Each structure stands twice: as C-alpha cells, then as structure tokens.
Amino acid sequence: MAWSSGSVGELNADAPRVVATGGLAPVIASDSSSIHEVDEFLTLDGLRILYEMNASPSS
C-alpha cells in the first residue's frame, strides 16, 4: 500500500483520479487514501468493448 500511496503522492500536483481495478481492488483500496474509486471489472469491460467493436457482424 505504501508504494501506491507514495507513487500517487508524487503525482499529486496534477491531482489525478485514481481507480483501483481487478479482483483485489477492494482490499487494496481499503488500505489506501489515494484511491478514489473501485471498479473490479473496468479492464474486462474495456476488453469486451474492444472485442465488440472489432467482431465481425453476424450474417
């Protein structure tokens, strides 16, 4: 947790919005004051959207 808090602290001049993703996101976010939002499926949702955009239309 110190790594994520320290890394975000270095970037704090631009006030980034930090989103924790993945299955362990809630666990990590509960120990971090730098994480603003938790979305366990953000990456998977993005991959699904890309797949749907590039999939051949059904005949």
Contact 28, 1 (CB under 8 A): yes
Q: Is the pLDDT reported for residue 58 higher than 60?
A: yes
Q: What is the DSSP letter of 34?
A: S
Note the pLDDT tens digit of each residue in 3-51: 565 666 666 667 789 999 999 999 999 999 999 999 999 999 999 999 9
**For residues 33 and 18, what is the distance between their CA atoms, to the nearest angstrom?**
10
